[in-house]
Amino acid sequence: MKINIEGLSPDEAFVVKWQYGLLGDFEAALAICLTRADHKNFDRLEVAFPTQAGGYWRYINTPGWWDEVEKKAEIEE
């Protein structure tokens, strides 16, 4: 699989790496925390990890965002 991470913003790169299983141990655990956090704890995570939380937020709340990021990453399987 080939993914062009270089052309992505940091939040986009985080989500792409998460979705394709390319995160290291810490960021993989962080991604799990983001997916399980309630609003109060998500807000806390966002203070400490604004890039990752912002990417996850756009992934789940912005229609078409993920499709555009995948195109931008030029993913080849």
* 2-58 tens-digit pLDDT: 899 999 999 999 999 999 999 999 999 999 999 999 999 999 999 999 999 999 999
- When pLDDT is cut at 50, 70 and 90, the band that residue 75 belongs to is confident
Question: Could you tell me where the DSSP H helices lie in 10-77?
Answer: 10-19, 25-36, 39-48, 50-61, 65-73
Is 30 within a domain?
Answer: yes
Q: Tell which residue, 63, 64, 66, 47, has the closest CA to residue 55.
A: 66
Is 4 within a domain?
Answer: no
Is 1 within a domain?
Answer: no
In the prediction, which pLDDT does 64 show? Answer: 97
- When pLDDT is cut at 50, 70 and 90, the band that residue 76 belongs to is confident
Is 3 within a domain?
Answer: no
Q: Which domain holds residue 39?
A: 10-73
CA separation for the pair 20, 11 (Å, rounded): 14
Domain total of the chain:
1
